[in-house]
Amino acid sequence: MLGEVGADVLELRELNRFWNGPVRAHGTLYWDLLHLYRSTLDGLALAGPIDGIGIDSWAVDYGLLDDAGRLLGNPVHYRDSRTDGVMERVLSTIPAAELYAVTGLQQLPFNTIYQLAAEELPVDAATLLMIPDLLAYWLTGEIGVERTNASTTQLYDVLARDWSDELIARAGLPRPVFPALREPGEVIGSVLPDETGLAAGTPVIAVGSHDTASAVVAVPAVGERFAYISSGTWSLVGLELDAPVLTDDAREANFTNEGGVDGRTRFLRNVMGLWILQECQRVWGADLDELLRAGADAPPFAVLIDPDAPEFLAPGNMPARIDEQCRRTGQEPPQNRGAAVRCILESLALAYRRTLRAAQTIADREVDVLHVIGGGSQNELLCQLTADACGVPVFAGPVEASALGNVLVQARALGEPLSDLSAMRALVRSTHSPRRYDPQGKPADWDAAESRVFGTR
């Protein structure tokens, strides 16, 4: 994405969109990282002269380098089954309460600490780099890890804002493989001309390299008590706070405290997101618009699922898994695709409602509006159901929030007068008008639906 930032200007132009799916080889699910890097170089070649480059991506996954800077194997995908049962083994050594007190991180089976514990590190592993930092290393030759992504590893001390030497030691990991941390806005280095064809001296700038950290920068909130959902394959539902919340209530509700730009805390919970619908669409080979129209016409609350159930994590036959959960919970499975789509989206809206209410209670923070950003903001049915379920206005958009937050942090580092997050968000609001959805329907219907799904917990 090529961005332009200036007074009353915030624009993006897509240069190169490319496939990014997992590759299964000999029983292991990998990222095709060299394809991603090659495609990145192709995009840079189309950009022409530019002032800077920023890289953000998903969290938790990493690459290992040897002491000569060579990649040791292709990075494994977080949805791979190698971490099955590993979390329980690690928690028998490092109790969950102690782990949360240091990291403030949600327990997810694919967190970096569990990936590293799943297999013995290669003896020649010298450096661990998160995915954006690995690409930045290939572009510049400079080694380091950006702080917002480090905060997703469950090896980061959220109060000290540095790697936790104690947790690294207790997890049996070598401390030297974890490099120095960078702040969003810090210049990483200059591109290597033989890598990109760009002018010598073009800077690569650390941004909120966890894509959600960049996306939250671009929430178009102006003077509001807001919550957000970064909506895509995952839905990250939460609040922006000045400090982490490390209480027992936060841990028991499985909330995470991840680093944000300008030292903010993203207090949120991962909800499974549109991954379930994406996998159903893949299995059916159906058009998404047709599916959403059928879902809008289907009867409400006919069947509901828990979208965070572990059976929905891995790729596979998602319609069959939905049917199986319905049978297990005493419900008739959806009778057609429209009913299945309605089931998925209403169930997601219920999960958002439950998560948002818990966040407000635990953080003692009231919310007046909910901003839905990212690709899921285009899903009109889901946005309306979310407003209905949560009982607050929903503002949907921008779609490319991560890219916008990325270029805003770059622009400030390069001298644009964007003094703080409020100034950045005001520019987003003035250049990208979100669509408003007001709550409709009866709150009692959502109360009853939530009781059906979560009442026994």
Cβ(206)–Cβ(410) below 8 Å: no
What is the C-alpha to C-alpha distance for residues 239 and 272, in angstroms, rounded to an integer?
18
**What token pair was written down for 236?**
């990250």
Tell me the two tokens of residue 103: 């990291």
In the structure encoding, which two tokens stand for residue 100, read together?
A: 């949360």
Query: In angstroms, rounded to a whole number, what is the distance separating the alpha carbons of residues 403 and 232?
Result: 14
Bridge partners of 29, per DSSP, are: 24
- Dihedral of CA 109/178/132/243: which sign? positive
From CA 266, how far away is CA 237, in angstroms rounded?
A: 9
User: Quick count: other Cβ atoms within 10 Å of Cβ 402?
Assistant: 27
Which of 311, 245, 312 is CA-nearest to residue 277? Answer: 312
306 flagged as catalytic: no
Residue 418 Cα distances to 67, 226, 368, angstroms: 39, 21, 25
Phi, psi of 172 (to 5 degrees): 75, 30
Answer for the pair 413, 363: CB distance below 8 angstroms, yes or no.
no
What are the structure tokens assigned to 262, written together?
């300008």
Which helix or strand (DSSP H or E) is residue 384 part of? Answer: helix 380-390
Catalytic residue, chosen from 56, 133, 211, 323, is: 211
**What angle in degrees, to the nearest 10, is found between the helix axes of 318-328 and 337-363?**
70
Q: Which residues are catalytic?
A: 211
